[in-house]
Amino acid sequence: MKTRYIVLIAIGIFISVFALTLILAPAAQSSGPSTTNVAIIPVHGVITLSGSNDLFSPQTASATDIVRYIEQADDTRGIRLIVLEINSPGGSAVASQEIASAIQRAETPTVAWVREVGASGAYWIASQTDYVIANPMSITGSVGVIASYLEFSEFLGRYNVTYEQLTAGENKDVGNPFVRMTDEQRAMLQAQLDSIHDYFVDDVAKGRNLTEEQIAEVRTGMFFLGAQAQELGLVDELGGRYELEAYLKEELGTTPRYRRYERQRGFFEQLAGVFSPGIPVGVRVTS
């Protein structure tokens, strides 16, 4: 008898969670290319090359998918504007640059809509669009690159633990957490980060038509509120959905009709999204 009640309770919980995921899931887009004139492409979560297929992993933005969506929208008859809906702290420098390059290649005019966060690699993406709208309280900019790792060499020595590794090439194990980095190796890695930073800054400067004075102020890696970012030339307009729709209507000369480009999540992915933790802001090498 008790077993029957347990089974019924379990079924009830499953049905409730299923109904909840259906309520929270985004509605499928029914309008096709012939009736839509604006493509919406989300850039949500940490930016990676391929995203994450892990059931319980936090949301990530797949550069592979986003580049494909940009190309598809650019080739779709009737799509006159492409909107990148950004809420991301950045991520992989390579993945961010790939999306930025896809925007540069697109012939269809592009718009970046920065909602809560558009920092680091996410701003790299936004800076390559034709027009940037950001919430005045959003975290925007952070034109910098960071690399970090844990170092355990002193910990091992304190407890008389030895670590041995054979390598061919004196710098093969640079960044190994069990070996203290030399000053020469640290300088070498810093030079690599500086090179990535230069690519980042150069793209932002060209995309936003910044003066040398503006470049000097934003290249420090500091993040700005949306209102500050506008004063520095990083943002064109402050606002949210209303301002975005007003801009799109003015550019189109008619009512915007949207088509959302994103991978449709299955039931178990939706289930994971209900219980998933917040977006992490720390990754090993990010821009």
The answer to whether 208 and 234 have CB atoms below 8 angstroms apart is: yes
pLDDT band at 273 (very low <50, low <70, confident <90, very high): very low
CA angle (269, 274, 279) in 5-degree steps? 90
| DSSP conformation letters of 25-76 | SPPPP---TTT--EEEEEEESEEESS----TTSPPEEEHHHHHHHHHHHHHS
Mean pLDDT score, 149-161: 69
- pTM for the predicted model, two decimal places: 0.76
Q: How many C-beta atoms surround the C-beta of residue 162 within 10 A?
A: 7
Whole-angstrom distance, CA of residue 104 vs CA of residue 126 = 11
Over residues 188-194, the mean pLDDT reads: 85
Sign of CA dihedral 233, 239, 244, 245: negative
| pLDDT at 262 exceeding the cut of 50 | yes
Residue 19: strand, helix, or coil: helix
What's the average model confidence in pLDDT over 203-225? 92
285 band by pLDDT with thresholds 50, 70 and 90:
very low
Which range, of 41-50, 215-224, 263-272, averages the lowest pLDDT? 263-272
225: three-class secondary structure by DSSP: strand
User: What percentage of the chain has pLDDT greater than the value 70?
Assistant: 74
Q: Using CB atoms within 10 Å of the CB of residue 22, give its burial: 0 to 12 exposed, 13 to 18 middle, 19+ buried.
A: exposed
Closest CA to 97 of 247, 238, 202, 236: 202
Burial class of 73 by CB neighbour count within 10 A (0 to 12, 13 to 18, 19+): buried
Name beta bridge partners: 39. 82, 259
Which residue would you say has higher pLDDT here, 247 or 187?
Answer: 247
CATH class of 2-286: alpha beta
Quote the distance between the C-alpha of residue 46 and its chain's center: 5
What is the pLDDT, as a whole number, of residue 39? 97
pLDDT at residue 135 in the model: 97
Which whole number is the average pLDDT over 53-79? 85
pLDDT at 26 over 50: no
The full set of domain ranges for the chain reads 2-286
